[in-house]
Amino acid sequence: MRDTTENTSKIIPRWEWRTFNADDELLKSKLSNYQPLLDAESIETYLLVPDEELNLKIRHHILDVKHRLKLDSTGQEQWLPIINIKFPLDVAALNKIEELLDMSFSSATNERSLSEANFIELLAQEPHIAAVSVAKFRQKYEIEGIQGEFTKLQIDNHYLFTLALEHEDPGRILNIRKSLGLEKCISENYPEALKHAIATGKGD
């Protein structure tokens, strides 16, 4: 079990750029000169919190939390993974999440351990936190040394599509965006896009 709740000093932050669109052909056409290297499907739960610098999701029974370090003028974001731990959550993980979210789980469990279902239920009870189930079909690409991803999202009966580029060097991402004709596309991360989907009724 991988657990990075206490030591992130050796993890290299990565830059990410992502855009969303309801038109899959528009985004997919940008990758027409490349072949997907890997397909993956998953059901994930995003925990949408008020803090715009945090991205919390659960995939394959693992809680993954990233902290946004920087946002540049082109919409590219630098993210650092700070938690990656399998359920049930132990004391160390709970303490870290309590600190991050400024809330306490102590009254919810005598064992100081939380299952995935109980954790989602607890957070979903908070009026300022939303739990959103997302079905994903992802296609991974390599674009001139840059990691690319095209993803089909299903939120209830609604669909969204997203294209992302990721690398340690933001300049290389920007160059690929320009070569693919993506430099003027609106940039959004997952929490922002899902909050917008809920607000517009696409996630109901």
Domains of the chain, with CATH numbers? 14-199 (2.40.320.10)
pLDDT score, position 119:
93
pLDDT score, position 202:
65
Average pLDDT score over residue span 129-142: 97
Number of H helices, E strands in the chain: 5, 8
Phi and psi at residue 8, in whole multiples of 5°? -115, 10
Residue-wise pLDDT tens digits, 83-106: 999 999 988 888 889 899 988 876
Average pLDDT score over residue span 164-181: 97
Residue 28 CA to residue 43 CA, distance in Å, equals: 22
Residue-wise pLDDT tens digits, 50-91: 999 999 999 999 999 999 999 999 999 999 999 999 999 988
* C-beta separation of 159 from 21 below 8 A: no
Rounded alpha-carbon distances, angstroms, from residue 88 to 111, 113, 131, 170: 11, 6, 18, 36
pLDDT score, position 40:
97
- Cβ contacts of 51-57, under 8 Å, gap ≥ 24: 51/100, 51/101, 52/191, 52/192, 54/100, 54/191, 55/79, 55/189, 55/190, 55/191, 57/190
